[in-house]
Chains A and B, each alone.
Chain A
């Protein structure tokens, strides 16, 4: 059937329905973004009017020792966190899929931790991950392992934050569960008839079948990890007694940005840092999009 062309009246109605979103986008997203782009070219401490300084803030960001440290910490965290989150979510989703009639109950259990407020999570994990008497190390000691000082040893602070991040793996697991249920069962039957082992079935049937969802979660989790802030700030920077007491091991990029903006009132410099992060995220996402053309099989395509 030939597609009917959209009448001008329908087009107007469409724009009308879109109008609230467009207004919201311009007022609360595009407008502030453009304003921060302008601020990034100024010195602005909020108490006096901004003064134009050209690219000085960007030049300073390149030379700022703490920017390098913060970016390294953030990338390190992202490289650890994203694969760990996806592997665990996929494993949980696979188990949930086999849960049969009890899947609903277990799905709720897996998702429930996502509801924990981030600051409460940070307080909880400061206790759980304490290297001297925390529950995590107590658990490891049952198996003969001596756990590290997760919250105070700079080498283990980021892995500790990755472990804490897995607490909210339920949201990704639920997405994978939905994707797994859409993989046609006949593909597994055909693979089994061809003598494929469970591992080969996973690699050649499951993974291509859910590659669109994997791609989505990789992109979203990468962006979220590059903007990691709340839990790390609450654990290591929030209270005065905790103010970076573990060195700069937990100084993530957005924490540095936040300190510059609201601690030193350097709104111009902080805006430049924000746009620098925007550029990094854009490049990373662009690379992921290009790679997806090779590895992602979208719905409707043959796996």
Chain B
């Protein structure tokens, strides 16, 4: 308790900074939430360094940590740039934790119109742009064709339109041995895919203004009840989740290669992971649909933003403009393709929020090398990108996500029924919006 009080006091007093320290050179440009895992990052960073030799760019590698970021801004020691989930940017803008990029966009001549509309909406708060979108992924169904065929199911018949049929399919595909699961038939990917299941049932969790939350809408409750039932039929959340935790998701012994999973909706980036690790796997790709059979998908990804108190907003602006420019993306995609080719691997393209960049990448750089996963999956992703929806920005974005994910978790674990859980989530969300000044 004493230590905790001390920590609270010290952080409030200004000891939580992750930005440049007073001892740093005046030209040090510090980033947060960004890493250099592959050529998409390294090639783009190299372009900026080449064009701006006077800037001492410091990439502080590691995942974005919201708590660390907000504490650093509050302490007056923020990084110069931050790379964060787009759906949370509205909350940071409402709190004044990030700066508007209106001037930056104008000075750098950035054509905001070339970015995907849903991505731009996510970084726009009260009519002002607070970030520039980076990658952009969608969600779609990935099917384990051999498992489906072995169970006598035609992969082409798998659809999320008919929920009764999906329940029957799940029963047919799941395999258990006593208390132990041997195969998941259909994984609804809850709670993280709730916005998509709700949209499939005809309702968006958050209205366009970011203030109208509908977590207790009967259609949301029905989606939660249905997906929780799918999990329950496969042994219940405890064994379902424990089994899923054993998957070698990023390795050669992944759940598709080992037959531990028959089908699930998944983020599009996973196609490249599967293509690299299980090039021979027979993976089917289909759109996730609403109950009328129309494709429904959520657009997600990150954005670059400049925190309040950034010491070098001009250099930060140049960096952001460079990283998201069409030419930069094409250069990075080419570097990525060449690196994969050197390792004998296919290149499945790069899905960005920059429509102009994607058009060139998939016309000039894309090289699947005959990989079945990419040849099936990439056209499906491209077809979905411009029909995708995105959760609109909200002044209480993080609290809303925490409220609905917490509610679904309580249902999955048997702690509450869906009506009760979503009603509680609605109350929590409304309180958060009121605190954030949105209500």
Which A residues form the contact surface with B (CB < 8 A)? 28-29, 31-33, 35-36, 39, 44-48, 65, 126, 130-133, 146, 148-149, 151-154, 156, 227, 243-249, 254, 257-259, 261-267, 270-271, 274, 277-278, 281
One of B9, B73, B435 near A47 (C-beta < 8 A):
B73
One of A28, A31, A32, A154 near B413 (C-beta < 8 A):
A154
| CB proximity of B8 to chain A, nearest CB, Å | 5
Binary interface encoding of chain B residues 65-101 relative to chain A, with 1 for a CB under 8 A from any of its CBs, else 0: 0111011011100000000000000000001110000
Chain B residues, Cβ within 8 Å of A248: 406, 409-410, 415
Q: Report how far A260 CA is from B180 CA in the complex, Å.
A: 37
Max chain A Cβ within 10 angstroms of own Cβ: one of B243, B245, B399: B245
Do A132 and B180 have beta carbons less than 8 Å apart?
A: yes
Do B246 and A33 have beta carbons less than 8 Å apart?
A: no
Do A47 and B97 have beta carbons less than 8 Å apart?
A: yes
| CB proximity of A248 to chain B, nearest CB, Å | 7
Chain B residues, Cβ within 8 Å of A274: 1, 4-5, 8
Which B residues form the contact surface with A (CB < 8 A)? 1-2, 4-13, 66-68, 70-71, 73-75, 95-97, 178-181, 191, 237-243, 245-246, 308, 398-399, 402, 405-406, 409-410, 412-415, 424, 432, 435
Do A149 and B238 have beta carbons less than 8 Å apart?
A: yes
Do A245 and B409 have beta carbons less than 8 Å apart?
A: yes
Q: Report how far A126 CA is from B68 CA in the complex, Å.
A: 25
Max chain B Cβ within 10 angstroms of own Cβ: one of A151, A265, A267: A265
Do B409 and A130 have beta carbons less than 8 Å apart?
A: no
Q: Report how far A146 CA is from B241 CA in the complex, Å.
A: 17
Q: Report how far A259 CA is from B410 CA in the complex, Å.
A: 18
One of A47, A132, A146 near B74 (C-beta < 8 A):
A47
Chain A residues, Cβ within 8 Å of B71: 46, 262
Chain B binding surface, main DSSP class: helix
Q: Report how far A245 CA is from B405 CA in the complex, Å.
A: 8
Q: Report how far A270 CA is from B402 CA in the complex, Å.
A: 17
Q: Report 23 cross-chain contacts, Cβ distance below 8 Å, ordered by A residue.
A: A28-B6, A32-B8, A33-B2, A45-B74, A46-B75, A48-B96, A131-B238, A132-B181, A148-B238, A151-B242, A152-B240, A245-B191, A245-B241, A246-B241, A248-B409, A249-B413, A257-B4, A262-B71, A267-B8, A270-B8, A271-B8, A277-B1, A278-B1
Q: Report how far A274 CA is from B3 CA in the complex, Å.
A: 10
Q: Which chain B residue has the least Cβ–Cβ distance from A273?
A: B4
Do B398 and A281 have beta carbons less than 8 Å apart?
A: no
Chain A residues, Cβ within 8 Å of B405: 243-244
| CB proximity of A244 to chain B, nearest CB, Å | 6
Chain A residues, Cβ within 8 Å of B412: 247
Chain B residues, Cβ within 8 Å of A152: 237-242, 245
Do A265 and B95 have beta carbons less than 8 Å apart?
A: yes
Chain B residues, Cβ within 8 Å of A151: 242, 245
Chain A residues, Cβ within 8 Å of B191: 245
| CB proximity of A116 to chain B, nearest CB, Å | 20
Q: Report how far A126 CA is from B413 CA in the complex, Å.
A: 18
Assuming the A-B contacts A39-B12, A249-B413, are A266 and B435 also in contact, with contact meaning beta carbons closer than 8 angstroms in the complex?
Answer: yes
Chain A residues, Cβ within 8 Å of B181: 132
Q: Report how far A263 CA is from B406 CA in the complex, Å.
A: 14
Chain A residues, Cβ within 8 Å of B1: 227, 274, 277-278, 281
| CB proximity of A132 to chain B, nearest CB, Å | 5
Q: Report how far A227 CA is from B4 CA in the complex, Å.
A: 9
Q: Which chain A residue has the least Cβ–Cβ distance from B396?
A: A264
Chain B residues, Cβ within 8 Å of A154: 238, 413-415
Max chain B Cβ within 10 angstroms of own Cβ: one of A28, A47, A65, A257: A47
| CB proximity of B386 to chain A, nearest CB, Å | 27
Q: Which chain B residue has the least Cβ–Cβ distance from A43?
A: B435
Do A261 and B8 have beta carbons less than 8 Å apart?
A: yes
Chain A residues, Cβ within 8 Å of B424: 65
Q: Report how far A12 CA is from B96 CA in the complex, Å.
A: 52
| CB proximity of B422 to chain A, nearest CB, Å | 14
Q: Report how far A265 CA is from B11 CA in the complex, Å.
A: 11
